[in-house]
Amino acid sequence: MAAGNDRSGQDTLTRSAATGLICPRCERRFELSEPDAFCPECNRSLDVTYDYELAAKRIRELPAEQRPQSIWRFSELLPILDAQACARVGTHSGFTPLIHAQRLGAELGLQRLYLKDDSTMRPSFSYKDRVVSMSIARLLELGKDEIGCVSTGNVGHSVAALAAAAGIPAYIFYPNRLEPTKAKLCRALGAGVCQLDANYDEANRACRALAEESGLEFANITLRPYYSEGGKTEGFEIVEQLGWRSPDHIVLPAAGGTLSSRVHKGLRELELVGLAQTAHTRLHIAQPEGCSPIASAIIAGASEITPVQPTTAAHSLAIGAPGDAPLVLSAVADRRGSAATVSDAEIFAAIDLLGATEGVLTEPAGGTAIASLIKLIDAGAIAPEDTVVTVVTGNGMKTIEDHPVKPWPSAVPARPETMRSELEQLRATAGARLAA
Ligand SMILES: Cc1ncc(COP(=O)(O)O)c(C=O)c1O
Ligand SMILES: [Zn+2]
């Protein structure tokens, strides 16, 4: 990186107030130039630290209307120092819509239900563009020119798209039992795809060893401290889009635990720099029954998770040994939150409910969040007058082939008399659904 840590005003510098890295367990500190992503003592992924006074000052100096409507909006609180690296990646990512879901809210008995709709995210239609943008910007900052990743599906798609746009080759390592469309998408975006005969956790371990041996940077392994920071932008946007009022509840699907732990960190930072009061916001974790190490630990009141072998159709959430689990457990405890687990049938029913009430098509990760929201309301953890944000983290077009098949109507002759009776049936079905 040409400009190093010097913040003397060259235009190659962003406004970042990042100061270094810290191990969240033993609190040992490291320089931002540290090549390792993990603490050598504890093997935990390092976390980025900031000078919050400096961040607050810089935030006050630049009015919101002069800031980009993208993940880089509050770059004071992001870990990339080289503005040219930021300008090459993720400039169209973030600032997804926050939708007041009145029809779904009415179905569920909530007046103020909002959907943070990352299914519309550019360029790869999932929340992962927030985190992968940070990794690729960091890679460019380091002057490197190829990237790998291990993925449950969406990270790969995001790496393929963002790397192509930045002009660097990408190599995607996929575990087994992945939705095939996601691998196809990566190939169409010019990435190299390697399918591994392993589950995600095994694939992750093997990729870490390969990274050490080959020197290839991995977006979500060797660049992990930077990757994770992108998750905070979800929290920043939710609070800003609600007029700088943090909601009573945020419901998030979790796999590795990056998004949920970093939404918590982002909300805390908004307090630290004086942008919003966020301490009241409760954080709820949504996981499928077939892979719920974090949610089950929260429900049981356990102090650590027990890894599991995933068996769920929500492939993007199938991480049995989530790396950020300790951070999620403490985030949920700090925020007096809770968790829910839901069956695959409940997940697909929730996808359909969201689609039919709001016109938003999500994948099983988003279905997991909506199905969990329903359970949290039933359990009394969320009250009708509360302001609730549920994050729809991914797009259902990528997983539609996995959606349980509904009976497909046989073709009818294209004549008004046959079509008229068809139409009557379709109207009756739609009416029954709306009346239900
Ligand atoms: C669509 C979607 N939502 C949520 C998640 C969970 O994110 P995290 O691993 O940050 O907990 C993933 C992870 O792959 C995902 O693809
Ligand atoms: Zn440590």
Residues 409-431: tens digit of each pLDDT:
788 999 999 999 999 988 998 88
Burial tier of 420 (Cβ tally within 10 Å: 0-12, 13-18, 19+): exposed
Answer positive or negative: Cα dihedral of 187, 192, 195, 200. negative
pLDDT value at residue 208: 97
User: How far away, in angstroms, is 45 Cα from ligand 2 center?
Assistant: 9
pLDDT value at residue 11: 53
Q: 179 falls in which pLDDT band (50, 70, 90)?
A: confident
Indicate which ligand has the atom closest to the C-alpha of 200. Answer: 1
- Kindly provide the b/e burial profile for residues 4-28, where b requires at least 16 CB atoms within 10 angstroms of the residue's own CB: eeebeeeeebbbbbbbbbbbbeeee
Cis ω before 225 (30° cut-off from 0): no
For the chain, give me the number of helices (H) and strands (E)?
15, 13
Does pLDDT of 375 surpass 50?
A: yes
- Residue 394: CB within 6 Å of ligand 1? yes
pLDDT tens, position by position, 55-89: 999 999 999 899 999 999 999 999 999 999 988 89
Query: Of 379, 126, 167, nearest to 253 (Cα)?
Result: 126
**Alpha carbon distance 248, 226 (integer Å):** 28
Q: Which residues are registered as beta bridge partners of 137? A: none
- Residue 257: CB within 6 Å of ligand 1? yes
Q: Which residues are registered as beta bridge partners of 330? A: none
What atom in ligand 1 is closest to the CA of residue 324?
11
DSSP code, position 406? P
pLDDT tens, position by position, 191-206: 999 999 999 999 999 9
Residue 414 lies in a domain: no
Residue 380 lies in a domain: yes
- Find the mean pLDDT for residues 6-30: 81
Cβ atoms 253, 35 nearer than 8 A: no
Q: Which domain holds residue 267?
A: 98-123+229-402
pLDDT value at residue 9: 41
Residue 350 lies in a domain: yes
- Find the mean pLDDT for residues 331-353: 98
Residue 283 lies in a domain: yes
CA 333 to chain centre: 20
Residue 200 lies in a domain: no
DSSP code, position 395? B
Place of tokens 């892979």: 291
User: How far away, in angstroms, is 255 Cα from ligand 1 center?
Assistant: 5
User: How far away, in angstroms, is 409 Cα from ligand 1 center?
Assistant: 35
pLDDT tens, position by position, 117-137: 999 999 999 999 999 999 999
Does pLDDT of 301 surpass 80?
A: yes
**Alpha carbon distance 254, 369 (integer Å):** 9
Q: Are strands 98-100 and 112-117 parallel, antiparallel or unpaired?
A: antiparallel
**Alpha carbon distance 318, 310 (integer Å):** 5
Instruction: Supply the mean pLDDT for the chain.
Output: 94
Structure tokens at 198: 């392993």
**CATH number for the domain harbouring residue 365:** 3.40.50.1100
Does pLDDT of 434 surpass 80?
A: no
Residue 254 lies in a domain: yes
Query: Of 87, 65, 102, nearest to 136 (Cα)?
Result: 87
Indicate which ligand has the atom closest to the C-alpha of 43. Answer: 2
DSSP notation for 163-199: HHHHT--EEEEE-SS--HHHHHHHHHTT-EEEE-SS-
Q: 12 falls in which pLDDT band (50, 70, 90)?
A: low
Q: Which residues contact 114 (CB under 8 A, 6 or more apart)?
A: 98, 99, 100, 101, 238, 242, 247, 387, 388, 389, 390
- Overall domain count for the chain: 1
Residue 261 lies in a domain: yes
> pLDDT > 70: what percent of the chain?
97
Q: Which mutation among 116, 152, 200, 252 tests ligand 1's pocket best, with the greatest number of atoms within 8 A of CB?
A: 152
Indicate which ligand has the atom closest to the C-alpha of 395. Answer: 1
Amino acid residing at 109: G
- Residue 222: CB within 6 Å of ligand 1? no
Residue 376 lies in a domain: yes
pLDDT value at residue 430: 85
What atom in ligand 1 is closest to the CA of residue 152?
14
| C-alpha distances in Å from residue 314, one per residue of 31, 213, 252, 345 | 38, 32, 14, 11
Q: Which mutation among 127, 155, 204 tests ligand 1's pocket best, with the greatest number of atoms within 8 A of CB?
A: 127
**Alpha carbon distance 178, 218 (integer Å):** 19
Place of tokens 């509050």: 74
Q: Which of 42-56, 82-96, 370-384 is the least confident region?
A: 82-96
pLDDT tens, position by position, 214-261: 999 999 999 999 999 999 999 999 999 999 999 999 999 999 999 999
Does pLDDT of 284 surpass 80?
A: yes
pLDDT value at residue 4: 39
